[in-house]
Amino acid sequence: MERVAAAIDRVTETLGRIAAWALGGVIAIVLAVVLLRYGVGWGRIWLQEAYVWLNAVAVLLGLAYTLKHDAHVRIDLLYERWSIRRRALADLLGCVVLLTPFALAVLWTSQGYVTRAWQIREASREAGGLPGVFLLKSLIPLAALLLFLQGLAVGWRAVRRLRAGVER
């Protein structure tokens, strides 16, 4: 199981780095949009959509990465004071009770949404917008799957910590 968890971690790490580069792209495109619009009076819908899309890519691909690095939102007032064993139990329960049902629900409910987008080859609603909205929507179930898989890796490591019996 450790090999599987390590493979999941490698995929998550790679996609997390892509997400970071996407955020750099967001910044560059926003800067270009502002300079072009207010500097020379030139603007395009597709350029504005590009930074929104890149932001979506960064968020969706960054979900599992954030979980892997334990950087998600959590109330640390108690957690940081707990023993290793209690933290492992909280991590395991969080993965089983909260993360897994959420990820599976998103994966399940997004299927029709994404399938329909592919069927009609959904494009931007805006004239001059980007054509491949269906590709962007495909990242929703992918992000849910990646989050689920990273949850398995986190859960597995929590089980290992619980079995080790280390208190502090």
Residue 168 is predicted with a pLDDT of 52
121-126, long-range: CB < 8 A, 24+ apart? 124/45, 124/46, 124/49, 126/45, 126/49
Q: What are the domain boundaries of the chain?
A: 2-164
Looking at residue 7, its pLDDT comes to 97
For 22-65, write each residue's pLDDT tens digit.
999 999 999 999 999 999 999 999 999 999 999 999 999 999 99
Nearest Cα to Cα of residue 62 among 157, 156, 155, 147: 147
Confidence of residue 18 (pLDDT cuts 50, 70, 90): very high
- Name every residue whose Cβ is closer than 8 Å to that of residue 48 and which is 6 or more positions away in sequence: 33
What is the C-alpha separation between 106 and 55, in angstroms, rounded?
A: 19
Only one residue has tokens 């269906």, namely: 134
pLDDT tens track for 128-168: 999 999 999 999 999 999 999 999 999 999 999 999 876 65
Confidence tier at 76 by pLDDT (50, 70, 90): confident
Predicted confidence (pLDDT) per residue in 90-140, tens digit? 999 999 999 999 999 999 999 999 999 999 999 999 999 999 999 999 999
* Residue 77: per-residue pLDDT: 81
Q: Average pLDDT in the 81-90 region? A: 91
Q: What is the pLDDT of residue 167?
A: 62
pLDDT for residue 166: 65
CA dihedral sign of residues 11, 12, 17, 19: positive
